[in-house]
Amino acid sequence: MKNIINPAIVLAALLATGAAWAADTPATAKEAEAMVKKGVAYIKANGKDKGYAAINDRDNKEFHDRDLYLAVHRMDGTAVAHGVNERMVGKNFIEMKDIDGKEYIKERVEFARAKGTFWTDYKFPNPITKKIEPKTAYCERLEDTIVCGGIYKK
């Protein structure tokens, strides 16, 4: 009996390996920036209610990709959308501190007032590893809110 390699089986194995590799590959800064810009455009085009609902919907792949998701806070620090923890919505985090004591939401508000677009560093639980890890977030001010998407640093 000859050993014949079925091309369909090889392709399926390669695709499965590629999908597993992609799921384990952390998001990049470029991807975070692109997702924030997409989120800002979506909110502008569809309104806040629909935009925030899309960001909160964990099945929406436009705003959820591996360890990358969006979070939106008002300028007073209140979360209006959060891609991995909808229980945060409606709560004020202006004085929230990361594990090192950094008030990163307060910093976002200050940067949004001064710059409009910016990167900020802090530590936050990674939804994939479930560990607190260093993170950097790209943020854009949109009217009275700040739309952010962060990546975990390795």
Q: Which of 154, 142, 152, 126 is nearest to 80 (CA)?
A: 142
Task: Compute φ and ψ for 57, nearest 5 degrees.
Answer: -75, 105
Tokens of 36: 């924030």
pTM tops 0.95: no
What is the number of residues in the chain?
154
Domains defined for the chain, CATH in brackets: 27-152 (3.30.450.20)
pLDDT digits (tens, 9 = 90+) for 76-135: 999 999 999 999 999 999 999 999 999 999 999 999 999 999 999 999 988 888 899 999
CB 148 within 8 A of CB 34: no
Tokens of 58: 């964990």
